[in-house]
């Protein structure tokens, strides 16, 4: 599976869906095995997690150039690996070390109090509790035997420099303007108190896969970082990778951490995994308990009186509990329209102008029904071909007749910077045939049914 991966259009999307489905199925089987075994570890449970881990590796290999997707599945792989290690340790416990008798010197010598300075905290976060749990350089009072300080630390998204901000995020203009306007209403503590308005804002983003929900929330968090907001991010699958019973503690710890870290943006992706619809007959009892814990923890956050912005996101809004939907602002992210696609192409090909007689508008007109994810795959394929052509066109040989990589790289860079490299219609349309948009009729039918159910509830 580490060889060449076919990323061609719908075959890539289909392969991703199949592998993701296999991953989720193995996770559910592992959790069910643990539950049926009264919470005790077993070899069968470990085998399911190992199968899920292998699916993570396959998906990572398919997305080496897609940083966010690759990072997401790397985190899931690590969660599987950690759980397998826990099961191994439980099945083969270590023998306790024999007790050591204190020497007369150690028994009589008092232990000095540490005079070291407190460990540095995440930027903007205050920790004042004397009973904080410490692990490495991170301290939090919300850690417990089942949710370590190291795990909580991993939720903080500190390096946002590589993420797009709103300035670089094409399209979604109305949504960006609305969010920034509402964000500007946060911080008026006295007025909010006088009017009895909660400073917590809650949003729920839904829409077809690949429309940029995660990218949008990341960009918003980057904007809020400049105003001193922390950014905490989890996925439903990260929480579900926990043992049955531990998932509830993870959710509670996440919202409690957001309260302590305020002002804070907290984002839970794949929220249907932690707030499943309790009225659905297919929802298991432990999933219903997790939904109860999720709603209780979010209500605590809502009533805390601190500046917090909560985001949930999903491609499957019908699977989310109605109590969640009733208490958030629903934001639908559609597929990019033609104007948004044209702006997108202008941005991603800003240093590769189209050849004479070809335009960004024509590119946009030919990509109807494409998601941003599909557009990204198309653009990456086009750029890869342009790169190979540039290496051939601007090749510099050394004295031995071999390619001088450094000089070739410099020559290609100068050609690109001076506008000599053009995007041809022939190359673009060839790659578009290789990467056609996937049929989304089933997705739209599901979303239409969800919208109709909302209208009925209203």
- d(CA 138, CA 129) in angstroms, rounded, equals 13
Range of the domain at 207: 155-332
In this structure, the answer to whether residues 292 and 212 fall within a common structural domain is yes
In this structure, the answer to whether residues 32 and 86 fall within a common structural domain is yes
In this structure, the answer to whether residues 372 and 401 fall within a common structural domain is yes
Listing DSSP states for 257-302 in one string gives HHHHH-SEEEEEESGGGTSB-TTSTTS-HHHHHHHHHHHHHHHHHH
Within a domain: 128: no
116: region left, alpha or beta (phi > 0 left; psi from -120 to 50 alpha)? beta
At which of 70, 91, 112 does a domain end? 91
Residue 242: what pLDDT? Answer: 54
Number of structural domains the chain divides into: 3
At which of 273, 308, 332 does a domain end? 332
Q: Does residue 167 contact residue 293 with C-beta atoms inside 8 Å? A: no
- d(CA 198, CA 309) in angstroms, rounded, equals 11
In this structure, the answer to whether residues 164 and 276 fall within a common structural domain is yes
In this structure, the answer to whether residues 196 and 314 fall within a common structural domain is yes
Within a domain: 386: yes
In this structure, the answer to whether residues 210 and 275 fall within a common structural domain is yes
Residue 428: what pLDDT? Answer: 96
Q: Domain of 431: which CATH number?
A: 1.10.8.60
Q: Mark 303-338 as b/e (b = at least 16 C-beta within 10 Å).
A: ebebbbbbbbbbbbbebbbebbbeebeebebebbee
User: Averaged in consecutive runs of 10 residues, what is the pLDDT profile of the chain (458 residues)?
Assistant: 32 76 86 81 87 87 76 86 85 58 43 41 41 58 90 88 72 80 78 81 89 88 88 85 77 95 93 90 88 94 89 91 89 89 91 95 94 92 94 92 92 93 95 91 86 70
Residue 154's SS3 state is helix
In this structure, the answer to whether residues 355 and 308 fall within a common structural domain is no
Within a domain: 233: yes
Within a domain: 144: no
Within a domain: 190: yes
Q: Does residue 307 contact residue 186 with C-beta atoms inside 8 Å? A: yes
In this structure, the answer to whether residues 245 and 318 fall within a common structural domain is yes
Paired sense of beta strands 308-314 and 138-140, if any: unpaired
Q: Does residue 159 contact residue 218 with C-beta atoms inside 8 Å? A: no
In this structure, the answer to whether residues 357 and 303 fall within a common structural domain is no
Residue 127: what pLDDT? Answer: 44
Q: Domain of 212: which CATH number?
A: 3.40.50.300
Q: Which residues pair with 234 in a beta bridge?
A: 268
DSSP letter, residue 145: S
38: region left, alpha or beta (phi > 0 left; psi from -120 to 50 alpha)? left
Where does residue 451 rank: exposed (0-12), middle (13-18), buried (19+ CB within 10 A)? Answer: middle
In this structure, the answer to whether residues 349 and 326 fall within a common structural domain is no
Within a domain: 458: no
Q: Which residues pair with 354 in a beta bridge?
A: 423
In this structure, the answer to whether residues 321 and 342 fall within a common structural domain is no
Where does residue 425 rank: exposed (0-12), middle (13-18), buried (19+ CB within 10 A)? Answer: middle
- d(CA 72, CA 68) in angstroms, rounded, equals 6
At which of 45, 74, 91 does a domain end? 91
Torsion of CA 377, 378, 384, 389, to 10 degrees: 170
Structure token pair of residue 18: 């199949």
Within a domain: 112: no
Residue 1: what pLDDT? Answer: 32
In this structure, the answer to whether residues 276 and 360 fall within a common structural domain is no
Please give the C-alpha separations between residue 327 and each of 294, 299, 452, in angstroms, as whole numbers: 13, 9, 18
Q: Does residue 437 contact residue 371 with C-beta atoms inside 8 Å? A: yes
Within a domain: 429: yes
Residue 5: what pLDDT? Answer: 28
């Amino acid at each position: 599976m580490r060889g060449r991966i076919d990323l061609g259009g719908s075959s890539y999307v289909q392969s991703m869906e199949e592998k993701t489905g296999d991953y989720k199925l193995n996770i559910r089987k592992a959790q069910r095995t643990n539950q049926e075994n009264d919470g005790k570890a077993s070899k069968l449970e470990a085998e399911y997690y190992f199968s899920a881990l292998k699916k993570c590796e396959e998906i990572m290999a398919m997305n080496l150039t897609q940083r966010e997707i690759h990072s997401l599945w790397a985190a899931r792989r690590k969660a599987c690996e950690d759980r397998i290690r826990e099961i191994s340790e439980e099945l083969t416990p270590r023998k306790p070390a024999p007790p050591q008798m204190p020497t007369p010197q150690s028994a009589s010598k008092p232990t000095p109090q540490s005079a070291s300075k407190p460990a540095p905290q995440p930027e903007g976060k205050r920790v004042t509790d004397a009973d904080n749990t410490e692990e490495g350089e991170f301290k939090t009072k919300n850690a417990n035997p089942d949710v370590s300080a190291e795990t909580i630390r991993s939720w903080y998204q500190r390096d946002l420099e590589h993420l797009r901000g709103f300035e670089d995020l094409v399209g979604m203009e109305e949504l960006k303007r609305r969010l920034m306007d509402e964000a500007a209403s946060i911080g008026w503590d006295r007025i909010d108190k006088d009017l009895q308005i909660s400073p917590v804002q809650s949003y729920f983003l839904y829409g077809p896969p690949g429309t940029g929900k995660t990218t949008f929330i990341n960009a918003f968090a980057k904007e809020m970082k400049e105003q001193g907001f922390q950014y905490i991010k989890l996925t439903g699958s990260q929480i579900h990778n926990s043992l049955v019973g531990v998932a509830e503690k993870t959710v509670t710890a996440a919202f409690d951490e957001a309260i302590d870290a305020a002002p804070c943006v907290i984002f839970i992706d794949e929220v249907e995994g932690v707030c499943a619809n309790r009225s659905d007959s297919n929802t298991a009892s432990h999933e219903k308990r997790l939904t109860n814990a999720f709603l209780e923890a979010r209500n605590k956050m809502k009533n805390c009186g601190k500046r917090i912005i909560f985001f949930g996101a999903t491609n499957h809004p019908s699977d989310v509990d109605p109590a969640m939907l009733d208490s958030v602002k629903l934001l639908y992210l559609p597929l990019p329209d033609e104007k948004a696609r044209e702006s997108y192409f202008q941005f991603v090909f800003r240093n590769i102008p189209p050849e004479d007689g070809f335009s960004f508008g024509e590119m946009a007109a030919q990509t109807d029904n494409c998601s941003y994810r599909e557009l990204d795959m198309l653009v990456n394929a086009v750029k890869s071909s342009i790169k190979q052509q540039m290496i051939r066109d601007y090749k510099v040989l050394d004295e031995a007749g071999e390619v001088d990589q450094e000089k070739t790289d410099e020559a290609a860079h100068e050609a690109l910077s001076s506008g000599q490299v053009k995007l041809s219609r022939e190359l673009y349309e060839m790659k578009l045939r290789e990467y056609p948009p996937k049929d989304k009729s089933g997705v739209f039918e599901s979303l239409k049914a969800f919208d109709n159910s909302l209208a009925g509830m209203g």
